[in-house]
Amino acid sequence: MSANALKESGPDGPLLDGIGVAALSRHAVQAEFTDTAGTRALHAVEDWCSAVDTEGPYRPRTEKFPFGDVIEHFRSVGRGAALPALIARLRVLHTSVQSEAPPEDEEVSTPLLSSWLRLTFDQEDGDYHTYVGTHLYDRMRERSEGKTGDILSDTIMAALAVDLLSIETSALAAEPSRRQRTRTRAAYQLLRSMNALAPAWGEKFEGKAGPFATADELNGDEALMAAASRAISATADQIEQPVRRLVETTMLPVTRLHDEQMFIRIIQIFEGLYVHVGRCLGRAITALDNGDAEGCRDELSDAAHRLDATPALFRVLTTMPREAFTVIRENTYGRSAVQSTSYRRVELLSAPRDPGSFSPQAPLLALEGETLQEVFERQLPELPPQTVTRLEESMRRLDAGWHMSKRTHWGITLKIIGSAPGTGGTSGADYLQRTAEVSLFPKLILGVRRRTVRRT
């Protein structure tokens, strides 16, 4: 524990007392009852490997893999202080599993073992994707497209919000404090905002669980915890087992800090949002290309509506204390969201970009086909003026939502890390301030200006 204790010292001293905001996670504090040494997890993995060696290939036996033992150890001590022999075993196993072809009828009831194993030694040479588990989420989402795909994707986001509320509520129950109360309330309001952030799931949930408590009704810890517990249990049977399993297996914090668990969940929800906005843009391009301007507008307004609800996510994120983030930052170098593929895809689908304007750590994505701005420009001479105006309105609305979200992220970064550089090799807040001003549709803004000048 001593190495970890040193890493978990904030600028104002050690963050080792208690459970909750600016302190430890419930798992870390209750670690004395669990597998801090990691030997139980190591034996469970060894046993599984021996059984596999005698009974057949890895993949069909994934369901029996001791995910729970490994996760419990990681959550108790933080990935950064996990048993080195266990990490080494998981790394070797990853190599073996990777070399196997998946069976044709592979089920998705458990996470893909090779992708999951890659997360377990992330602390040695990982990136943003292995920190957050994006490949596992992508794989689950790729199972369905269109409306069904949207429902699945929204259910995943909601499941993450439910888990976050459950983590925060149990911290409040363990050790009530002003900061923990504020965090738990924000997590409750976030789950409530899932109606807007993940509407396909929101409709389903509101119908069955009844309305959420109002802000007035949440006065006092008892009322808050009771309302949160009602919301959590009402959702339990609405989230299918594979989704619950995915959420459970992708909480692998590097430190023992409670705040890191919130950070991971908020990033995973944002990732879901970026993926969805990218899907909307892809479908908007196809619709406009096929002459369906209304279909294009519907997609753009779906994305814009969701972005309008991001303040609920930021309200949870702003409860991150500076001292806690300093510790998280020190332990997550090289794992910045600047590497997010889904985020970059949104920018690349909307208009052509100068690759030189991105951070060197941004993923190099080559997307096929035209951007939305290009399709719009090409079709401009043929479109009736009223359609042009309506399309411009929708594009501007999406741009405004994206801009607002980037400005808020910049403001929070300034508050939490000041002028320190980012973990992705950029200048930090200055970089974010500059990128926040880049429009999703730069020519649209110029075009509107040109037409206005011509008319006057």
Footprint on this chain of ligand HEM (rule: CB under 6 A): 266-267, 270-271, 317, 320, 325, 336-338, 340, 343, 359, 409, 412-413, 416-417, 422-426, 428, 431-432, 435
Please give the Cα distance from 136 to 118 (Å, whole number): 10
Report how far residue 258's alpha carbon sits from residue 261's, in angstroms, rounded to the nearest whole number: 6
* Nearest distance, CB of residue 201 and ligand HEM, angstroms: 20
What is the smallest separation between the CB atom of 121 and ligand HEM, expressed in angstroms?
22
* Of 26 and 409, CB closest to ligand HEM: 409
For ligand HEM, give the closer residue by CB, 191 or 267. 267
Q: How far is the CB of 315 from ligand HEM (least distance, A)?
A: 12
Residue nearest to ligand HEM (CB): 422
* Least separation in angstroms between CB 126 and ligand HEM: 15
Choice between 338 and 375, CB closer to ligand HEM:
338
Nearer to ligand HEM, 239 or 264 (CB): 264
State in angstroms the smallest separation of the CB of 325 from ligand HEM.
Answer: 5
Nearer to ligand HEM, 205 or 431 (CB): 431
Q: Which is nearer to ligand HEM, 69 or 399 (CB)?
A: 399
d(CA 273, CA 145): 16
Q: How far is the CB of 441 from ligand HEM (least distance, A)?
A: 16
